[in-house]
Structure 1
Amino acid sequence: MDTLLVHSPSMAKRPCCSSDPLVANPRVPKPDPMDSLLESFLGLSDSPPLSLDLSFDRLLDSRASDSDRNDMIDRAMRLGSSLLEAGKRSARKRATVHNAVVWALPPDLTIKVFSMLDTQSVCHAAATCSFFHKCALDPLCYANIDLRTVVPKVNNLVVSTMIQRAGKVLQSLKLGIVPGPTASLGSSQPLVYTIRNSTDASGFSWNDKRSRQGKESSILTRSCLSSLSGDIDAPGALLRRLHLYNIERMDNAALSVALSTCSYLLDLEIVGLHVELRQTLESVSKHCHLIERLYFESSKTGRDDSLKLPTCSDLVNNCPHLTSLALRGFKLHDHKVRILVKGFRKLKYVDFSTSYSITGAFLRNLLGSAGGSLLEFLILRDCMHLKEVEIARFLTAVLAGDFKMLRHLDISNREGLASEGDWYHRCYSKSFIPEKQLLEERPGFRLLAEFPPEASFVEIDQMIGSDYSDFSSPSQPSSHTSDGTLFVSSSEGSYNSDQGSGNEDGRDANFVIYEESSDEVDFLVL
């Protein structure tokens, strides 16, 4: 047999058989010399550290010049750093495999759990290990993005990344700065987050914020909502809830572009943005025909007089599903307010707190059409020109059986109510309110009428001389939120409140955007 093999023509050109398995099986990769060298080097890890130090010192001493010695030290440090990173990377890979094996839930259920967490918790989970990170990349985990902070922490990149991750499943987006919640004494109503003083409830100074405005990379700017818009599959196309708080650099044009994409928006809340009432309502009227809740608080209380009658009419005609309307801190006139309240046939909640120019005359004959008949909450807190006589007429109508659905009325005013014909003569007494009759006729009716003692208040005519902008109203008006959250105003605004309300952030570990290529995240072995 051997003779045949030797003389076989087909075998004559073949190489001689070898006992080397690499030659016998060419598919087995040849060993890399670096592997052998590294294995030998790692074997030294069991040696005493002193022997390694002595060996390195001998190598240094063998070099002829200082430059050669320095070069050897640099190479040794780079090699050590590379080995350390390689070890950490391998440990993370093994930890990820371990987590995926021992974690009790399959990926789909893990994603479902993550989708129920708040945004900050999802980011924390994503930073623990690659397994959780991969689960946290699913769009469902970012369907409801809440990036509200007490101090500036979130920048445009964070917002854009999360919106893009959510894609078409994005349902809710909340951005901006809100103060820490504090309870309103004597009030059980839900309140809304607002910033009015130079220092918010958390102790964060807005002067400190302004001193950091050079850090453009850590500020929410007018383009923070740009990721919502785009083609037909833009993330904002199916957005249902948009809440924006005290983003100083947001302007009319940027907000209008964002709203133009949100045709399915149901809930819009705007607090402290430097945007005009008329232009904002025109954008809502044009693009958000399904809206049910609109909450808009002016950043310059009492100064925005931009609302026009055609804007009111268009809003009523184009947004027939509105059930909750709050326009706070604007210069509103009764005839415009009447168009809004009477026009919306499903309206249940109205809040015109801190609005300038409202006298209460719009309350007359509200029931002439379907609009106004479903009102359940009417908030007219700290309206400077609200008249005692108009409230008395309204309560008479309530006692007569009108407004059967109304169950909450707030006419509290730290300036007192205006008297008929002489608005700067104030009324601080509740004697005109038939409280006993109201309780008898309407047992479930709740009336808030909190006024300061007359003696404790500054003379009104002195305030008139200083301009209406000096009036302040720190009492806390009420507002419902669409998601049932209790919001609170730390110190409600003056009629002049021209405070800055921007958002400028530094880097925040609470909002980690951990990419797959990042090696900076600590991995947790579960």
Structure 2
Amino acid sequence: MNPPNPKRPCHDVTSSSIQNPNSVPVATDFNQTEFDSIISSFILLPDSSLSTSIDCSLDRVLGQILFLATKASGDDSIQDLLIDRTRKLALSLQESTKRVSRMRDTLYNSNSWSLPHELTIKIFSMLDTKSLMKASACCTMFRECSLDPLCYSHIDLRTSTITKRLSDNVVCSLILRAGKELRSLQLGRVKSVYQGSLVTKSCLASIILNRGFNGGVLRSLHLYNLKSTGTKSLCDMLLACPNLTDLKIFNLKHILVEVLKTLTKNSHSILDRLFLHNIVRFTTSGVSCSTAEAFVSSCPNITSLNIEGFHLNDDAARILAEGFPKLNYMNLSTTPKLTGRVLRDMINSSRDTSPLKTLILRDCPLLDRQNDVGQFLVSLIKGDFKFIGHIDVSREHGYGSKETVLIKNLLMKLKEKRSDVTAVA
């Protein structure tokens, strides 16, 4: 028998090769070239008719290694370590195969993709955020295209299902990736009011970074079901977004006054649509007339105003209804303190000049249907509020019998005189 080649020692697994009974016997004296050669030989093993032989050989060799390892150490637990290591080796081979396959696909896509890089980015910028994430996972070329800030101009991370909360780091990275291209941001769980939200303090802080660099050109901001944000964080974020034209905060809870003062302080003169919603069960403070007047003066271009579920009184509501010269949509539903005086004031002061097209006062318990709502319907029948096309003064629990008869008669007359007006009462 010829002696082993001294430049290439023999590495058969024997009982003498196991030095430590508590460790896995692994040969460590291969150089990189020899190691690569062994892996290449394994990968290039012929298949077809020999595939069964390969399976049998693997089973036989692994069984022998386990037997010799147990015999040398006298400890059956060494088998678990060897089996676990074998699984890791198999997983490494599988992951390496996936990586090489993706690289191969990327090379193919780069050669066969007919669109130029700039046009691909433009198309990606038109995708919603979820579709963009799926496209970026296809191949390296698509991922490189999807990293362009233009692709994140409109970030939509809304969800309507009760799923695991999206990582704050992911949300922040998308906002920072957009940079100065960020134009709209929609974030939060839309339907599940009482479940955890996506919106946290750190998510809002990413807009404030670099002296508001990321929020400076933000035009549309929709936040749903705030959680653990804090009043100061929310107000600081609004201060960093002076160019908002569309602001929607669903489930704002009790900080309406602070938000209105922040918008006033920052003079959001181009703000066009404002939607603030509150759950009625929360205790909320009212809005003073001075706060309402300052807000109207600072945001004169509002055309759509939605403030639901807050304790607005008649005076503040009147200032909001009459103060915006371009206001064509107003929703003050579920306002517990609102009486019919706001309707009477509108009839007396702005019935000929109001540009209002939609008025919604749904589920306001103190509205007197027979007097206040009746007078407003009579004013519509006479031809006042010539631009109005929709009015909703309905109530969840309905009216009394006398109110029902009166309102029905007025609605019939309104339908005859002004068929273009839809009234829900």
Q: TM-score scaled to structure 1, two decimals?
A: 0.66
2:410 aligns with 434
Structure 1 unaligned residues grouped into runs of 5+: 1-30, 180-193, 196-205, 419-424, 450-526
Deviation at 1:79, TM superposition (A): 4.1
Residue among 273, 279, 298 paired with 1:299:
279
Q: Would you say the 8 A contact 2:199–2:224 is kept in 1?
A: no
What residue identity is the alignment partner of 1:437?
K
1:386 aligns with 367
Residue deviations 1:416-452 (CA, integer Å, cap 9, x gap): 469xxxxxx9834344752343233322111111xxx
Q: Would you say the 8 A contact 1:296–1:327 is kept in 2?
A: yes
After superposition, where does 1:291-370 map in structure 2 within 5 Å? 291-301=271-281, 303-366=283-346, 368=349
Change (3 A) 1:302 1:415: farther
Partners in 2 of 1:87 and 1:298 — Cα distance?
53
Q: Would you say the 8 A contact 2:330–2:358 is kept in 1?
A: yes
Change (3 A) 1:60 1:323: closer
- Residue 414 (1) aligns with residue 396 (2): yes
Deviation at 1:36, TM superposition (A): 3.1
Residue among 223, 229, 250 paired with 1:244:
223
Change (3 A) 1:99 1:370: farther
Q: TM-score scaled to structure 2, two decimals?
A: 0.80
**Identity, % of aligned positions:** 38
Change (3 A) 1:57 1:336: closer
Partners in 1 of 2:402 and 2:102 — Cα distance?
71
Residue deviations 1:188-238 (CA, integer Å, cap 9, x gap): xxxxxx85xxxxxxxxxx5xx4xxx7xxxx964233211111224621111
SS in structure 2 of the partner of residue 263 of structure 1: coil
Partners in 2 of 1:391 and 1:58 — Cα distance?
91
2:180 aligns with 168
Q: Would you say the 8 A contact 1:293–1:322 is kept in 2?
A: yes
Residue deviations 1:278-326 (CA, integer Å, cap 9, x gap): 1111112222332111111113357323311111011110001100111
Deviation at 1:330, TM superposition (A): 1.2
Partners in 2 of 1:120 and 1:170 — Cα distance?
16
Residue deviations 1:340-371 (CA, integer Å, cap 9, x gap): 11111110001011111211212234364699
SS in structure 2 of the partner of residue 227 of structure 1: helix
Residue deviations 1:466-499 (CA, integer Å, cap 9, x gap): xxxxxxxxxxxxxxxxxxxxxxxxxxxxxxxxxx
What residue identity is the alignment partner of 2:112?
V
Change (3 A) 1:335 1:102: same
Q: Would you say the 8 A contact 1:324–1:349 is kept in 2?
A: yes
Q: CA RMSD in A?
A: 3.0
SS in structure 1 of the partner of residue 359 of structure 2: strand
Q: Would you say the 8 A contact 1:415–1:426 is kept in 2?
A: no
After superposition, where does 1:107-506 map in structure 2 within 5 Å? 107-153=117-163, 154-179=166-191, 195=193, 206=194, 209=195, 220-232=199-211, 234-287=213-266, 288-301=268-281, 303-366=283-346, 368=349, 373-388=354-369, 389-416=371-398, 427-431=403-407, 433-449=409-425
Deviation at 1:44, TM superposition (A): 3.6
SS in structure 2 of the partner of residue 235 of structure 1: coil
SS in structure 1 of the partner of residue 134 of structure 2: helix
Change (3 A) 1:242 1:65: same
Partners in 2 of 1:299 and 1:133 — Cα distance?
41
SS in structure 1 of the partner of residue 36 of structure 2: helix
1:106 aligns with 116
1:9 aligns with none
After superposition, where does 1:55-66 map in structure 2 within 5 Å? 55=61, 65-66=72-73
SS in structure 2 of the partner of residue 268 of structure 1: strand
Residue deviations 1:132-168 (CA, integer Å, cap 9, x gap): 2222222222211111112344232232121112111
Partners in 1 of 2:315 and 2:67 — Cα distance?
94
Q: Would you say the 8 A contact 2:273–2:305 is kept in 1?
A: yes
What residue identity is the alignment partner of 2:72?
S
What residue identity is the alignment partner of 1:407?
G
Partners in 2 of 1:305 and 1:99 — Cα distance?
59
Q: Would you say the 8 A contact 2:293–2:319 is kept in 1?
A: yes
Partners in 2 of 1:376 and 1:60 — Cα distance?
82
What residue identity is the alignment partner of 1:235?
N
Q: Would you say the 8 A contact 1:250–1:274 is kept in 2?
A: no
Partners in 1 of 2:420 and 2:272 — Cα distance?
26
What residue identity is the alignment partner of 1:313?
E
Change (3 A) 1:167 1:430: farther
Number of aligned residue pairs: 381
What residue identity is the alignment partner of 1:427?
E
SS in structure 1 of the partner of residue 127 of structure 2: coil
Q: Would you say the 8 A contact 2:352–2:384 is kept in 1?
A: no
Moved more, 287-296 or 256-265: 287-296
Moved more, 325-334 or 126-135: 126-135
Greater helix fraction, Structure 1 or Structure 2: 2
- Residue 51 (1) aligns with residue 45 (2): no
Partners in 2 of 1:73 and 1:416 — Cα distance?
72
Q: Would you say the 8 A contact 1:324–1:350 is kept in 2?
A: yes
What residue identity is the alignment partner of 2:315?
H
What residue identity is the alignment partner of 2:99?
R
Deviation at 1:409, TM superposition (A): 0.9
